[in-house]
């Protein structure tokens, strides 16, 4: 496997930044990542984080972390803390540049007063439904509010009284006075402030009017000296409003550039829908390992390196497209193949007794920790007369082309000996409960001495192994595009989680640290759960299986 780093592909945003620096439009690069603290970050945010922080690093600039905390009804300190944790986990740091839109509430208010004085904003009494009705359509112009002609003096008075809390929620708004016939609906007198008598997680009850995102966004960028304000494509139609506010105020003007958001198959990215999954108990929380949140991916065993690699591979584009979740799995599989220590684990145990192995004897056999990493060394694995093997590794009678254990057939036990099945023990229903074998003492290490032994299976010593609970995760949704289904909850994958109790793992794992990752030979990649425990004391989450569907897709397409 090649370890050479891939050259970073160029894209239209990087090209724009280079041009701006060469022409002198900007002297440096200042970006910002502006999450709303109303939920946990997901894999789509990782793409934006990698772009915002990555460009700043590449051009020797800086990236700000700024919370867009303008809607106190849906925001909390829990989300603020989780977002900071996730950004750091991905490997990025904002240094001293941590900001909040709420830092600028007074300045935003003062600028709103400036627009009122200039006759470019007014207090409106229309309800939210009436505002929508008056806005018009894409083919028909809007209708001016009957309150649009209020005098500057009356607007200043009403706006100040809004701030003092004299009016109930929803009874008045402050709107920009632009053009109700504009082709862009965002320019049809957009709302700048609404009344919301809700305590804010940072400012408490100091304010009862809060700025809309479009009003806070560009001005916050301007205050911080942001050069390139990078947004997802849904904000492209908002850019003329972004520009209008900055120009109307006559303040420093950053450049907004839009890019396509990440759409991942078998996943929903809407925070509203993710919140629904959490609140309705359809998942165990924001950090459920089936969720596309960074907290969920981390708990499942994904590495920040794999996620950054994924973000780099999907690139930056102008057009929306759907990325196969198999690519994300390929990236973590490739990363863990290099770093994860190998261990043996039996998920569905079947007792195997070696009849000619001495009673009470225990050997320590040498096993490789990671064939991809020569520095990882080896470990000693205990071997005894009674072992556990996978139920699927024995069949009686065997199906066609079955090369694992069956009556009269020989197989290698990984790192150990060649054994031959001599018989089975069955329960009253006829199910196999024990396999009897003999071993060849001269075959230690798997030496077949000229015999053709096709199968190799893994095992653990029954008396030395550790009991564990293993959780097998699959896609949360059963269709590639759940967002296109009328009821997205109707296509939840009923088999997205399978919990196996009574699994047996190597004794080395007894003291495994939460979050540590392993490849279970012939099984996949697993992570010690960071939150939960079971009666066995050890819970392991499957990160991804060994089968790489993306690699097969790439090969088929000739990449």
Q: How far apart are CA 547 and CA 306, in angstroms?
A: 17
> Can you state the angle between helices 304-314 and 43-58, rounded to 10 degrees?
80
Question: Considering Cα of 264, then 269, then 274, then 277, what sign does the dihedral take?
Answer: negative
Q: Count Cα neighbours of 545 within 13 Å in the Cβ-side half-sphere.
A: 9
Question: Considering Cα of 197, then 202, then 207, then 209, what sign does the dihedral take?
Answer: negative
Q: How far apart are CA 163 and CA 205, in angstroms?
A: 11
Secondary structure, 3-state, 389-441: EEHHHECCCCCCCCCCECCCCEEEECCCCEEEEEEEEECCCCCEEEEEEEECH
Buried b (16+ CB within 10 A) or exposed e, 384-395: bbebbbbeebbe
Neighbouring CB atoms inside 10 A of 255's CB total: 18
Q: Determine whether 261 is an active site residue.
A: yes
Tell me which of 36, 160, 305, 334 is the catalytic residue.
Answer: 36
Q: Do 178 and 231 contact (CB within 8 A), yes or no?
A: no
Distances (CA, A) of 555 to 320, 337, 404, 444, 545: 24, 19, 29, 38, 19
Tell how strand 517-520 and strand 341-343 pair up.
parallel
Tell me which of 120, 196, 261, 351 is the catalytic residue.
Answer: 261
Q: How far apart are CA 152 and CA 161, in angstroms?
A: 14
Which residues 6+ apart lie within 8 Å of 103 measured at CB? none
Q: Report how far Cα 407 is from the mean position of its chain's Cα atoms.
A: 47
Q: Do 228 and 205 contact (CB within 8 A), yes or no?
A: no
Q: Which residue has the tokens 């934006």?
A: 48
Tell me which of 271, 298, 385, 504 is the catalytic residue.
Answer: 271
For 144, list phi and psi in degrees, rounded to 5: -70, 140
Distances (CA, A) of 511 to 506, 514, 539: 11, 9, 12
Tell how strand 209-211 and strand 62-67 pair up.
unpaired
Quick one: which of 203, 184, 87 has its CA closest to 137? Answer: 184
Q: Do 387 and 352 contact (CB within 8 A), yes or no?
A: yes
For 400, list phi and psi in degrees, rounded to 5: -60, 145
Q: How far apart are CA 343 and CA 507, in angstroms?
A: 10
Assigned token pair, 205: 């009850």
Neighbouring CB atoms inside 10 A of 453's CB total: 19
Q: How far apart are CA 298 and CA 85, in angstroms?
A: 11
Which residues 6+ apart lie within 8 Å of 448 measured at CB? 412, 418
Q: How far apart are CA 149 and CA 487, in angstroms?
A: 44
Residues identified as active-site: 36, 261, 271
């Amino acid at each position: 496997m090649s370890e050479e780093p891939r050259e970073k592909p160029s894209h239209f945003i990087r090209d724009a930044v280079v041009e701006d620096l060469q022409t002198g439009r900007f002297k440096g690069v200042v970006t910002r990542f502006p999450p709303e603290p109303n939920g946990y970050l997901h894999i789509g945010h990782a793409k934006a984080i990698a772009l915002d922080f990555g460009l700043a690093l590449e051009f020797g600039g800086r990236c700000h972390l700024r919370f867009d905390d303008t809607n106190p009804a849906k925001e909390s300190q829990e989300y603020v803390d989780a977002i900071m944790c996730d950004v750091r986990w991905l490997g990025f740091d904002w240094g001293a540049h941590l900001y909040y839109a709420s830092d600028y509430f007074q300045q935003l208010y003062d600028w709103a007063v400036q627009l009122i004085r200039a006759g470019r904003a007014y207090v409106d009494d229309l309800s939210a439904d009436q505002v929508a009705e008056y806005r018009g359509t894409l083919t028909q112009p809007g209708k001016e509010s009957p309150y649009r002609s209020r005098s500057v003096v009356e607007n200043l008075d009403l706006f100040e009284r809004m701030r003092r809390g004299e009016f109930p929620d929803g009874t008045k708004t402050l709107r920009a006075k632009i053009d109700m016939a504009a082709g862009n609906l965002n320019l049809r007198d957009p709302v700048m402030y609404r009344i919301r008598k809700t305590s804010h997680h940072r400012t408490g009850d100091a304010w009862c009017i809060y700025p809309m995102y479009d009003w806070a966004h560009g001005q916050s960028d301007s205050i911080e000296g942001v050069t390139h304000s990078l947004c997802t494509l849904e904000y492209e139609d908002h850019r003329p409003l972004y520009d209008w506010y900055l120009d109307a105020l006559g303040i420093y003007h950053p450049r907004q550039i839009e890019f396509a958001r990440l759409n991942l198959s078998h996943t929903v990215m809407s925070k509203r829908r993710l919140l629904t999954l959490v609140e309705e108990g359809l998942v165990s929380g924001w950090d459920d390992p089936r969720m596309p949140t960074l907290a969920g991916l981390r708990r499942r065993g994904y590495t920040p390196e794999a996620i950054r690699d994924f973000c780099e591979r999907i690139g930056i584009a102008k057009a929306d497209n759907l990325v196969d979740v198999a690519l994300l799995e390929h990236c973590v599989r490739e990363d863990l193949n290099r770093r994860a220590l190998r261990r043996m684990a039996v998920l569905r145990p079947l007792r195997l007794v070696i009849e000619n192995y001495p009673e009470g004897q225990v050997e320590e056999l040498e096993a490789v920790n990671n064939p991809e990493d020569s520095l990882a060394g080896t470990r000693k694995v205990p071997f005894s007369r009674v072992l556990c093997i996978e139920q699927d590794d024995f069949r009686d009678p065997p199906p066609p082309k079955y090369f694992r254990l069956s009556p009269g057939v020989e197989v290698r036990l990984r790192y150990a000996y060649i054994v031959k099945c001599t018989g089975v023990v069955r329960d009253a229903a006829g199910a196999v409960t024990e396999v009897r074998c003999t071993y060849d003492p001269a075959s230690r290490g798997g030496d077949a001495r000229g015999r053709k032994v096709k199968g190799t299976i893994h095992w653990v010593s029954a008396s030395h192994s550790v009991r564990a609970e293993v959780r097998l995760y699959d896609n949360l949704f059963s269709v590639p595009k759940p967002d296109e289904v009328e009821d997205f909850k109707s296509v939840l994958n009923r088999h997205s989680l399978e919990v196996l109790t009574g699994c047996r793992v190597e004794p080395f794992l007894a003291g495994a640290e939460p979050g540590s990752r392993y490849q279970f030979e012939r099984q996949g990649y697993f992570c010690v759960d960071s939150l939960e425990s079971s009666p066995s004391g050890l819970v392991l989450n499957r990160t991804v299986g060994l089968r790489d569907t993306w690699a097969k897709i790439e090969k088929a397409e000739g990449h």
